[in-house]
Structure 1
Amino acid sequence: MNTSTWPELLVIDVEGNGANPPDLVEVAALPIRNGRPDTSTAGAWLIRPPIGVSPFVARIHGLTNAVLANEPTWDTVASDVAKHLGESWICAHNAHVDYGVLSRHLPNWRPAGVIDTLRLARATWKGLPSYKLDTLIAHAELDLTRAPAQRHRATFDAYATSYLFLALAEHYPTWEALIAAAIPPGLPGAPEPEPEETLW
């Protein structure tokens, strides 16, 4: 596929504090340009949440209350995040979660479209025992030795998801075919349902 025809695309990942609904503690947005992740223009933000990070969640991503104690609050970084995201397409693994959290924090933001690598992997690699990100990283034999931070940090997961997306995209001849398999129903960018024929 000719990746030069792709629209502006950001691979995103968010981490939360374990509250329900979650407050953001980390956001990462990694552009795909010329068929590869562009780490030189990636955006990454650490955020001090209004409610402390739960011990269980802190053990997963490593972002403890002590680590976040001197980071800015969401109100301080929200405009910068919104400006960075713009109206680009976004891509994430299990994208309705990341999109849902971000859109709740940025109520006036709407991306051009939302690509889900979980949905895309299920359509592309049928019959895998699991479609968790770790399983797909192993299945695609992705080289993540240059990934920032570690697994379950937003920067690492966005980096891993970007390479997963590129591996999946190789199976599709056009952008249109790719997004037809990758956008969950009801999310931005999904094709409108065909109108039902009216018989008169």
Structure 2
Amino acid sequence: MTMRIGHADSIGKRRGTPAAHAKYGRLAPVGSPLWHAADIVALDLEGSGAQDHAAEAILEVAAVPLLNGQPDLDRAFTSLVNPGRPIPPRSWLAPGLTDGVLATAPAFDSIAPTLAELIDGKWVLGHNVQVDWRLLSGHLPGLRPAGLLDTLQLARTMAFPDRKLSTLVDSLRLREAMHAAAGSSQPHRAYWDSVAAAYLLPKLIYRLWPKRPPTFESLRLMAGVPLPAEPVDQPGLFD
């Protein structure tokens, strides 16, 4: 199954903590482009599991471009992926990703050009984004994004007791927006998680910089993570 999905919701502002704002709010030179002028695309993949190492299969992928800092759901892309081999049942697999469902999905090679068009030259956003990037770059080593941005890393600068993606969606009152945008999906599926990251980013930014939008360079210094030269071990997911 491959889908393009359309809909958009505006996101309100929440105040950041004064200490965090004082520490991080003025990091880039005055006059740098604002963060929402950057080309950003939220990405999420569901795979067969990191225990498969280099043989980990992609089972589902979604990419959601941001336009002026908001999810551009008219250009969102999501697809199941036929892994070309049976995937044994595992407790951590995303719900609904069964051999029977995946057997009728397109092969990864058939959707790779669409992903390359969405990602090449863009800033790739995700929640613990290096995990998704490790998997995708292993299957598409020729991809050349501008860099990686991590909402988990950004959330770590704030006093959230739980930084799981679905918990942050609730903490920041995004559940209604998520239902409108991804009501047919659910947490731990690629489309839901990528849309959630796209909505979460501006919420976190407005919380950290409540008085004015930051420059992209300020955001990069806070949320940017290195593009790994080689596959990385999966880091801790939530803290």
Give, in angstroms, the shift of residue 5 of structure 1.
5.1
Q: 1:3–1:35: 8 Å Cα contact kept in structure 2?
A: no
- 1:99-123 CA-partner distances (Å, limit 9, x unpaired): 1111111111121010000001001
**Selected match of 2:103 from 45, 48, 69:** 69
Q: 2:48–2:93: 8 Å Cα contact kept in structure 1?
A: no
**Selected match of 2:223 from 161, 172, 182:** 182
> For residues 161 and 125 of structure 2, what CA distance do their matches in structure 1 show?
23
Give, in angstroms, the shift of residue 57 of structure 1.
4.9
Structure 1 residues 57 and 146, CA, compared in 2 at 3 Å: closer, same or farther? Answer: farther
2:38 aligns to what? 7
User: Which amino acid in the other structure matches residue 41 of structure 2?
Assistant: L
Q: Does residue 114 in structure 1 map to residue 148 in structure 2?
A: yes
Alignment of 1:11-50 (within 5 A): 11-18=42-49, 20-21=52-53, 22-50=56-84
2:11 aligns to what? none
Which consecutive unaligned segments of at least 5 residues does structure 1 have?
189-200
User: Which amino acid in the other structure matches residue 178 of structure 1?
Assistant: L
Structure 1 residues 108 and 3, CA, compared in 2 at 3 Å: closer, same or farther? Answer: same
> For residues 103 and 174 of structure 1, what CA distance do their matches in structure 2 show?
28
Q: 2:65–2:118: 8 Å Cα contact kept in structure 1?
A: no
**Selected match of 2:94 from 57, 60, 70:** 60
Give, in angstroms, the shift of residue 31 of structure 1.
0.7
Q: 1:28–1:154: 8 Å Cα contact kept in structure 2?
A: yes
1:168 aligns to what? 204
1:192 aligns to what? none
Q: Does residue 136 in structure 1 map to residue 183 in structure 2?
A: no
Which SS does the other structure have where 2:166 is aligned? helix
Identical counterparts, % of pairs: 38
> For residues 57 and 141 of structure 2, what CA distance do their matches in structure 1 show?
14
- 1:7-56 CA-partner distances (Å, limit 9, x unpaired): 21100100012361321011101011022111101111211003323312
Structure 1 residues 91 and 4, CA, compared in 2 at 3 Å: closer, same or farther? Answer: closer
> For residues 180 and 43 of structure 1, what CA distance do their matches in structure 2 show?
28
TM-score, normalising length from structure 2? 0.71
- 1:138-183 CA-partner distances (Å, limit 9, x unpaired): 2212132113211111011111111111101212322211111101
Give, in angstroms, the shift of residue 79 of structure 1.
2.3
1:94 aligns to what? 128
**Quick check: 128-137 or 22-31, which moved more?**
128-137
> For residues 99 and 79 of structure 2, what CA distance do their matches in structure 1 show?
15
Q: 1:17–1:24: 8 Å Cα contact kept in structure 2?
A: yes
TM-score, normalising length from structure 1? 0.84
> For residues 36 and 5 of structure 1, what CA distance do their matches in structure 2 show?
8
> For residues 122 and 91 of structure 2, what CA distance do their matches in structure 1 show?
29
**Quick check: 61-70 or 45-54, which moved more?**
45-54
Tell me how many residue pairs correspond in the alignment.
185
**Quick check: 139-148 or 157-166, which moved more?**
139-148
